[in-house]
Amino acid sequence: MAGKIKTNEIQTGKSSEIKDKIRYIYCGPNLTNKGLIQNTIFIGYPEHLNDLFEKCPSIKGLIVPVNELSKVMQNISKTGTYENLMYKEVLKFISEVR
């Protein structure tokens, strides 16, 4: 149908209608071998990464609405915050996968 927004075909490899038009951004460390790079923006929640979320749930917690980016990045740099702990969990996951 004309006029419907499609997901980013490069990110997902396929086209599908967007149910969620919110823009999300990944705030975690690069997972280049999994195709997830820090500051990647998604239109709608990136459900195509569900397999990765199952292996490391902290990755999911670092995908946030773009309007929360500043707050989340500040919290990542503060030791002991929820975001900081998730970031460290992702780093641990990366080191175990290599």
Q: What is the pLDDT of residues 38-80, one digit of tens each?
A: 999 999 989 899 999 999 999 999 999 999 999 999 999 999 9
Reported pTM: 0.76
The band of 33, judged by pLDDT with boundaries at 50, 70 and 90, is: confident
Given the structure tokens 């670092």, which residue do they identify? 62
Please name which of 31, 21, 25, 65 lies closest in space to residue 51, comparing C-alpha atoms: 31
- Is the confidence at residue 98, as pLDDT, over 80? no
Give the C-alpha separation, 1 to 32, whole Å. Answer: 34
For residues 5 and 47, which has the higher predicted lDDT (pLDDT)? 47
* Helix/strand/coil for 21: coil
Q: How far apart are CA 66 and CA 61, in angstroms?
A: 13
- Percent pLDDT > 90 in the chain is 68
* H/E element, 89: helix 82-97
